[in-house]
Amino acid sequence: MPLLPQPDTTSPGSLQLLYTVGVLEHITSANFLADVVLTDISAIRTEAEAFAAVVAGLLTNTSFISTWRIADPANVSLYEEAFADPIVGTRSPDTNERVSQAATGSVTGKGRPAVGLAQGQTRTTVFLGSFDSTNWPDNRQALDVGEIDFAPLREFLVDSDIVGADNYGSKATYRNYWCPQINSHYQKTYGL
């Protein structure tokens, strides 16, 4: 079966947030749209602040978002800046949750290029710091399960004029669920 041709655009990179959960450092990111000018630091800074505010809602108060950066497609940092004050997580864990260095949640999507061109996949993943095997038993969860709500992250990615793209830089359509998962590398290294 022939493949669709790829768009002639690519995402110039990603907007990344650097944060800690407990003592472990993590990065979450969202791809830039193809037409984003990476030297427009002021506009990207504003977007980074909004991104951080949304991600803070997924993290507990043992988590701190300290820095944002612009990275190229090879994940090389092109620009990095600390937030004036670290942004502290605001989520209160459900009583069923237990501490987990390996638990992640992600929203996924698919690019919407011009008709007849290939679509890329995209995923924004956040290490949550806890896991709830009672309320998150399935690999697909409603956006607002229990004390955790991925709807604001999905809305941010859908509404943004800067991020929320696939690897081709095409604006993505995001699915109406989030995916909990245990990261096997972190589980092997740090335990659940």
Burial of 105 (0-12, 13-18, 19+ CB in 10 A): buried
In a domain, 30, yes or no: yes
In a domain, 5, yes or no: no
Provide the β-strand partners of residue 163: 32
Burial of 74 (0-12, 13-18, 19+ CB in 10 A): exposed
pLDDT in tens, the chain (192 residues): 568 888 889 999 999 999 999 889 999 999 999 999 999 999 999 999 999 999 999 999 999 999 999 999 999 999 999 999 999 999 988 788 888 889 999 999 999 888 888 899 999 999 999 888 787 778 888 888 667 899 999 999 999 999 999 999 999 999 999 999 988 888 888 876
Ramachandran angles phi, psi of 4, nearest 5°: -70, 145
- The 10s digit of each residue's pLDDT in 55-83 is 999 999 999 999 999 999 999 999 999 99
CA–CA dist 45, 50 (Å, integer): 9
5: its two tokens: 């041709």
In a domain, 9, yes or no: no
Ramachandran angles phi, psi of 25, nearest 5°: -95, 140
| Token pair 């509404």 in the structure block, residue | 159
DSSP 158-190: HH-SSB-B-TTSPBEEEPSSBEEEE-HHHHHHH
The amino acid occupying position 109 is G
* Residues 92, 96, 98, 100, Cα dihedral to 10°: -80
Is residue 136 within 8 Å of residue 104, measured between CB atoms? no
165: its two tokens: 């793209």
In a domain, 112, yes or no: yes
0.85 exceeded by the pTM?
yes
The amino acid occupying position 190 is Y
- Number of domains, the chain: 1
Q: 181 lies in which domain range? A: 14-190
In a domain, 6, yes or no: no
In a domain, 44, yes or no: yes
